[in-house]
Chain A
Amino acid sequence: MQKKIPLENESLFTKLQNLKTLIAGASEVKEDIETLVRTLNEHCVESEAYQLKTALQVNIEHLREILSGSDDIQFREFWIVPFQVKAAIVFLEGMIDQGIINEHIIEKLTASRSSHKFCLEQLALIDSIRNIILTAASVTKEDSMEAIISRILSGDAALFIDTVNTALVIATRKVEFRAVAEPETEAEVLGPRDGFTEELRVNITLIRRRIINPNLIIKKQHIGIRSKAEVAVVYLRGIANFKLIHEVEKRLKNITLDIPAPSGMHNLLEDKPFSIFPTVMSTERPDKLAAALAEGKAGILVDGTPFCYIAPSTFPDFFKAGDDYYEKWLPAALIRITRYAAAFFALTMPALYVAVTSFHPGLLPTPLVLTIGTSREGVPFPAFVEALIMEALLEIMQEAGIRLPKIIGPAVSIVGGLVIGEAAVRAGLVSPPLIIVTSFTAIATFSISSYRLGLPLRLLRVPLMCLAASLGMFGVMCGLLAIAVHLSILESFGEPYLAPLVPKSRANLSDLKDTIVILPATQMVERPDYLEPPDGKRQKGE
């Protein structure tokens, strides 16, 4: 016994050991299986893998599998009484017009009429349902599951009929959308009051209504590997250069993002995404798009955003407003020059202030030196720090103004503008001239017609200020030079960013008629030459 015990103990020990490893292995396997099940459950169902079968029940099972995750999908099974076939109609509950489904589909199919026999004699089952019984406006035959699914997801109803491996898709879409309203980001005095909405079809009608011409081409495609957002390229055939259209379509096709944000589409289309300057303009105004189309540009309308993208967009385009064309030309030209000046000041004003007060007071007239010196006496910070503080304050206030609920807006302006500004001066932390400079800068930024061009100007102010604080006016000039170089390198859909401003040849000189200045409409006989439109003449006659 004495001898055996260790032996038995040993075998028992190994057995226990084995059991332990077994349990550990089993729990591992369990975990593996659990993750496998989870991944299987969450596995993205590829609708291409399914094919339409003749048996209704199978088709419905397939649909349930593909759309099983969503609860808003509706299956309605019924009998087509006259033909004595089972059928099912599938739709998304929030996106359809129930009236059409009730009156024009189910009611028609379940009612029995004498003429039905005649139908079957003349036509196949599916065709007789489509052509004779259904009274909906648009009924199409589809036999690929993928297409059917995408139609259902965009609000149409699919009718599956037993014994037939084709489904009928009926246009029943009725989506709630915002009414056409005045554009909020691009206010104008004389311009039309309608603006784009989030609904692509409405946007297209807004354009169609403006240009009644068979050559207004609207080419739709889907982008986004998962979202399949609908995008329409709009252009005027015979006016837009086909190379441009080709380029636009190519870029849209090349978007590999799975769910692109419709309002950020310009970021996916730009030539140099790392540049801070916008090279694709977005507009809310149909009249602006129509005018761009007439110049030979292309528009990109995206479902889900009230912003339409214009390709190509060059630097001077961002300074144009619709009012320029509706106003008399001379005031319009002056206003446009004002905008350029405003952009320059928005960019350089704080930098110039810093450079002049801390490096070159000799540049100022003596009485002005006295004024600035008196107001800055006792301010503890150098002009640069002072300007940085005000700049930060301005940016924070702008951001607060945008993000806050509109009701609190006035409170922000009172606290920010009056209390902080006034109190900072009273306390001697900031000098009054700088308050003037900062507010002037802010207002100058707002007066540029494009919000998106304002952003890089706001951003570049700070580096320019740093240059001004370290190298004085020399630094400011270096900075401006660098910006100028950058602008001249940029391109928008292959067109130089400074396109009409810097003419390629003497033939392009006439493009300058609509850049910094603007001439009367009667004088602008030609379309912009840099776009190379096939038909360059804008006005007929002579």
Chain B
Amino acid sequence: MMDRLRKLLCAFLLLVFVLPLAGCWDRRELQERNLVLAIALDLADEGLKPGQSQETVKAETFVQPTGSKRYRLSLQILKYEAKGAGSKGGGGQGARKTFVLSNTGESLFEMVRDMLGQSSRALYFEHMQVVIISEAVLRQTNLAPILDFFFRDAEMRSRIRVYATPGQARPLLEFKPPTGEPGGIYLNNIARNHVKNAHIGTARTDLGHIIQALDNDADVIMPRIDIQDEVVKIRGLAVFRRDRFGGYLDEYAVQGIRFVRGTERGAIITAPCPVHPGEILALELVKHETKLTPHVAGDDIYFTLDINMTGNLSEVHGAQPNTYDYKNKDALEQAFAQEVLANVSYAVRQSQTVGCDTLYFGSKLKAHEPETWKRVKERWDEIYPAISLYTSVNVRIRNIGVHR
């Protein structure tokens, strides 16, 4: 009994001593971690801080022995304010919740690690919100090599937003949101509003979806974000042929694309009023059924699109008082259907001009006509711009919004 007890005690003590020796290796208090919220990628000599001298650029620069393409990587890091400072009125709305570090080099990972030379605390990417890539970088390199670091690193999450910006990317990191949120969180949250607005093309464009598209050899799309003075807005899409930057599509085209793909969850459709010429009407989309079907007739491939929409009449200009007569309902529905049809054909034209399969024709064909897909896969880039889409739209107004 005693012997057994002694043995047990020895084993227990051994365990207790081993724990602090083997454990604790990655223990680091939350407030001692520098959490990176956003990453901006510019060309090496762009994305400077306003008024930044060449001397400071030199100080930041990391000299990498290999590679010729040079980027500037900027990190937006979450800053905690001590409690006392906040309560004295300095914090709250006015204070900036983040700060930016930047570096130049070619390997993103190496630049990140080199950044530790500028940071008192280790960098962690578990709360990354957005990656912003400037157009200049996209025009210089394909997307896959740039994003490769984000695909491989274990700390990156699939729900990171990826944006393209026509100007420089770094100013977006320095943007101070009016809500007082940390900048990265603000930039991520803008993208969530696509539910209520079909113009915002952020549905299924986060890092995980981009990985998926690249893995499936499909065309990548990502939202475009602009900053002008104090205005930040998501405007349209940046489209790619595979991972090669192809250009931008505007908001109107985005709405049309989302009609084709059936990813709109809410939309406002405006149409000219058939009863009062020169005035406009607005319809709030409530429900929709979209069916995109590929057809193959010999060598000819074409698609049909059936859209059934139900909505509420939500804004009427030109009718006094602000109610509308039921007898005009059919004419109104016609007008809206015309508008949707125009929107869709605009989107298809734009997409085919750029040459990016934003409409997912390729994957539809692969799913429905695998044999045909095998045949045309190699020539898809040539075939795609010439594919015709036959659209039929049926709009039903459920509620004309009568009020007395």
A329 close to B (CB within 8 Å): no
Structural contact, B28 and A466, CB atoms closer than 8 A? no
A378, B82: Cβ atoms closer than 8 Å: yes
Q: Bits for B12-35, please: 1 = Cβ < 8 Å to A, else 0.
A: 000000011011101111110101
Q: Mark B123-137, 1 if CB is under 8 A from A, else 0.
A: 010110100000000
Selected from B19, B27, B84, B124, the residue in CB contact (under 8 A) with A358 is B27
A358-B28, A358-B30, A374-B83 are contacts. A366–B23 as well, Cβ < 8 Å?
A: no
Which residues from B are CB-within-8-Å of A358? 27-30
Q: Is the interface of B mostly helix, strand, loop or mixed?
A: loop
Asked if A322 CB lies within 8 Å of chain B CBs, one says no
The answer to whether B30 and A475 have CB atoms under 8 Å apart is: no
Contacting pair A369 B127 (CB below 8 A): yes
Are B27 and A374 in contact, CB atoms less than 8 angstroms apart?
A: no
With a 10 A CB-CB cut-off, give which of B20, B27, B33, B86 has the most chain A CB atoms. B27
Pick the most buried of B35, B182, B185: most chain A CB atoms within 10 A of its CB. Answer: B35
A320 → B minimal CB distance (Å)? 34
Q: A361-B30, A376-B29, A471-B23 are in contact. Are A370 and B82 (CB under 8 A)?
A: no
B122: min CB distance to chain A, Å:
12
Measured as residues with beta carbon below 8 angstroms from the partner, the interface class of chain B is 20 to 34
Complex contact A370–B182 (CB within 8 A)? yes
The answer on a CB contact under 8 Å between B127 and A374 is no
Whole-angstrom distance between the alpha carbons of A382 and B31 in the complex?
Answer: 10
Contact A357 B83 (CB under 8 A): no
Task: State whether the Cβ of B78 lies closer than 8 Å to any Cβ in chain A.
Answer: yes
CA distance in complex: A51, B78 (Å): 91
B184 to chain A, nearest CB (A): 8
B29 engages A357 (CB within 8 Å): yes
* A373 B155 Cβ-Cβ under 8 A: no
Contact B129–A357 (Cβ < 8 Å): no
Q: Which residues of B contact A357 (CB under 8 A)?
A: 29-30
Nearest residue (CB) in B for A379 is: B31
Query: Residue A367 at the B interface, CB < 8 A?
Result: yes
A386 to chain B, nearest CB (A): 10
A374 smallest CB distance to B (angstroms): 5
The verdict on A377 contacting chain B, using a C-beta distance below 8 Å, is yes
| B80 at interface, CB cutoff 8 A | yes
A376 to B28, CA, bound (A): 13
A475 contacts across to B, CB distance below 8 A: 19, 23
The answer, yes or no, to whether B81 is at the interface (CB within 8 Å) is yes
In angstroms, Cα B22 to Cα A382, docked, is 18
A469 CB within 8 Å of chain B: yes
Cβ proximity bits A469-491 to B, threshold 8 Å, 1 near / 0 not: 11110010000000000000000
Instruction: Output the nearest chain A residue to B182 by Cβ-Cβ distance.
Output: A370
Which residue on chain B has the smallest CB distance to residue A386? B29
Minimum CB–CB distance from B253 to chain A (whole Å) comes to: 32
Q: Is the CB of B81 within 8 A of A361?
A: no
Check B26–A377 contact: CB distance below 8 A: no
Q: Give every chain A residue within 8 A of B33 (Cβ-Cβ).
A: 361
8 Å CB interface, A340-373 against B: 357-359, 361-362, 366-367, 369-370, 372-373
Shortest distance between the CB of B373 and any CB in chain A (Å)? 40
Size bin of chain A's contact surface: 20 to 34
CB-CB < 8 A to A428: which residues of B?
Answer: 83-84
Q: How far is the CA of A383 from the CA of B27 in the complex (A)?
A: 10
* Chain A contacts for B126, CB-based, 8 A: 361-362
Give the Cβ gap from A477 to chain B, nearest Cβ, in Å: 13
Distance (Å) between the CB of A110 and the closest chain B CB? 64
- Chain B contacts for A466, CB-based, 8 A: 19
B83 pairs with A367, CB closer than 8 A: no
A373 touches B185 (CB 8 A): no
Partner of A469, one of B27, B86, B182: B27
Q: How far, in angstroms, from A375 to B78 measured CA to CA in the complex?
A: 14
Q: Which of B119-178 contact A (CB under 8 A)?
A: 124, 126-127, 129, 155
Chain A min CB distance to B399 (Å): 37
Residue contact A376 to B27, C-beta cutoff 8 Å: no
A465-521 residues with Cβ-Cβ distance < 8 A to B are 466-467, 469-472, 475
Tell me the bound Cα distance from A123 to B49 in angstroms.
123
On whether the beta carbons of A470 and B19 are closer than 8 Å, the reply is yes
Contact yes or no, B185 A372, CB < 8 A: no
The one of B22, B78, B84 that contacts A370, using a Cβ cutoff of 8 Å:
B78
Does B86 lie within 8 Å of A362, measured CB to CB? Answer: no
Task: Decide: B83 and A470 in contact? CB cutoff 8 A.
Answer: no
A47 to B297: give the CA distance in the assembly, Å. Answer: 115
Q: Are A377 and B127 in contact (CB under 8 A)?
A: no
Residues of B within 8 Å of A382, CB to CB, are 27, 29
Q: Least Cβ distance of A448 to chain B in Å? A: 28
In the assembled complex, the CB of A378 is this many whole angstroms from the nearest CB of chain B, namely: 4
Task: Tell me, in angstroms, the Cα distance from A373 to B79 when the chains sit together.
Answer: 9
Contacts of B81 in A (CB 8 A): 374, 377
* A461–chain B nearest beta-carbon distance, Å: 17
* 0 or 1 for each of B38-82: is its CB under 8 Å from A? (1 = yes): 000000000000000000000000000000000000000010111
User: Which residue on chain A has the smallest CB distance to residue B23?
Assistant: A470
**Across the interface, which residues of B come within 8 angstroms of A376, CB to CB?**
29-31, 80
Q: How far is the CB of B77 from chain A (nearest CB, A)?
A: 12
Of the candidates B28, B33, B80, B84, the one having the most CB atoms from chain A within 10 angstroms of its own CB is B80
Residues of B within 8 A of A373 (CB): 30-31, 35, 78, 80
Q: Which residue of A lies closest to B19 (CB)?
A: A470
| CA of A362 to CA of B30, assembled, Å | 10
Q: CB distance A359 to B27 under 8 Å? A: yes
Q: Chain B's nearest CB lies how many Å from the CB of A369?
A: 6
Answer whether A471 and B19 are a contact pair too, CB < 8 Å, given A377-B31, A377-B81, A428-B83. yes
State A471–B86 Cα separation when bound (angstroms): 34
B220 to chain A, nearest CB (A): 26
B26 cross-chain contacts in A, Cβ below 8 A? 359, 472
Give the residues in chain B near A377, CB-CB below 8 Å: 31, 80-83
The complex places the Cα of A372 from the Cα of B124 at a distance, in Å, of 16
Contact flags A416-440 to B (C-beta < 8 A → 1, else 0) = 0000000000001000000000000
The answer to whether B24 touches A470 (Cβ under 8 A) is yes
Q: Bound state CA distance, A476 and B81, in angstroms?
A: 31
Residues of A within 8 A of B182 (CB): 370
Q: Which residues of A contact B24 (CB under 8 A)?
A: 469-470
A425–chain B nearest beta-carbon distance, Å: 8
A231-257 at interface with B (beta carbon < 8 Å): none
Distance between Cα atoms of A357 and B27 in the complex (Å): 9
Task: Give every chain A residue within 8 A of B82 (Cβ-Cβ).
Answer: 374, 377-378
Interface centre among B28, B30, B35 (most CB of A within 10 A): B30
Nearest Cβ distance between residue B192 and chain A, in whole angstroms? 13
How far does the alpha carbon of A314 sit from the alpha carbon of B189 in the complex, in Å?
51
Residues of A within 8 A of B80 (CB): 370, 373-374, 376-377
Nearest first, the 5 closest Cβ-Cβ pairs linking A and B are A362-B126, A470-B23, A377-B80, A373-B80, A376-B31
- Sample (8) of A-B pairs whose CB atoms are under 8 Å apart: A366-B129, A367-B185, A369-B30, A369-B127, A374-B86, A379-B31, A382-B29, A428-B83
New contact pairs (6) apart from A383-B30, A470-B20, CB-CB < 8 Å: A357-B29, A373-B80, A374-B82, A376-B29, A376-B30, A475-B19
